[in-house]
Chain A
Amino acid sequence: MRQTVRRTALALALSILAGGAFAPAFAQGGNLRIGLGDDPDVLDPTLSRTYTARIVFASICDKLFDIDEKLAIVPQLALSYATSTDGKTVTIKLRPGVKFHDGEVFDAAAAKYSLDRHLNMKGSFRKPELASVEKVEVADPLTIKLQLAAPFSPLQAQLTDRAGMMVSPKAAEASGDKFGLKPVCAGPYKFVERIQQDRIVVEKFADYWNKDQVFIDKITYLPIVDATVRLANLRSGGLDLMDPRPTIRWARTPACAAP
Chain B
Amino acid sequence: MIYLYHPQYLIAHTDKLEGFRPISDGILRVVGLKLK
Q: Which residues of A contact B (CB under 8 A)?
A: 24-27, 29-30, 32, 34, 51, 54-55, 58-59, 66-69, 71, 188-189, 210, 213-216, 219, 231, 234, 237, 239-245, 247-248, 251, 256, 259
A71 to B26, CA, bound (A): 11
The reply to whether B13 and A241 form a contact with Cβ atoms under 8 Å apart is yes
Closest residue of A by beta carbon distance from B11? A244
Closest residue of B by beta carbon distance from A66? B29
Chain A residues positioned under 8 Å from B33 (CB to CB) = 32, 215-216
The reply to whether A237 and B23 form a contact with Cβ atoms under 8 Å apart is no
- A26-B35, A32-B35, A234-B12 as given contacts; A69 in contact with B21, CB under 8 Å: yes
The reply to whether B36 and A26 form a contact with Cβ atoms under 8 Å apart is yes
- A69-B22, A210-B31, A216-B30 as given contacts; A259 in contact with B10, CB under 8 Å: no
The reply to whether B13 and A242 form a contact with Cβ atoms under 8 Å apart is yes
The reply to whether A58 and B21 form a contact with Cβ atoms under 8 Å apart is no
A259 to B14, CA, bound (A): 7
| Interface residue tally for chain B (C-beta within 8 Å) | 30
- A69-B22, A241-B13, A259-B15 as given contacts; A55 in contact with B27, CB under 8 Å: yes
Chain B residues positioned under 8 Å from A58 (CB to CB) = 27-30
Closest residue of A by beta carbon distance from B24? A71
- A26-B36, A30-B35, A241-B20 as given contacts; A251 in contact with B30, CB under 8 Å: no
Among B8, B28, B29, the residue within 8 A (CB) of A251 is B8
Main secondary structure of the interface of B (DSSP, over half): loop
The reply to whether B11 and A241 form a contact with Cβ atoms under 8 Å apart is yes
Chain A residues positioned under 8 Å from B29 (CB to CB) = 58, 66
Chain A residues positioned under 8 Å from B11 (CB to CB) = 241-242, 244
The reply to whether A259 and B12 form a contact with Cβ atoms under 8 Å apart is yes
Chain B residues positioned under 8 Å from A242 (CB to CB) = 11-13
Among B12, B23, B31, B34, the residue within 8 A (CB) of A69 is B23
Tell which of A34, A237, A247 has the most Cβ of chain B within 10 Å.
A247
The reply to whether B31 and A213 form a contact with Cβ atoms under 8 Å apart is yes
| Those 8 A-B pairs whose CB atoms lie nearest each other, nearest first | A30-B35, A241-B13, A244-B9, A26-B34, A247-B10, A215-B34, A59-B30, A240-B14
Interchain residue pairs with CB less than 8 A apart (26): A26-B36, A27-B35, A29-B35, A32-B17, A55-B28, A58-B27, A58-B30, A69-B22, A71-B25, A189-B30, A210-B31, A213-B32, A215-B34, A216-B30, A234-B13, A234-B14, A240-B35, A241-B17, A241-B28, A242-B12, A242-B13, A244-B12, A244-B26, A245-B7, A247-B8, A256-B10
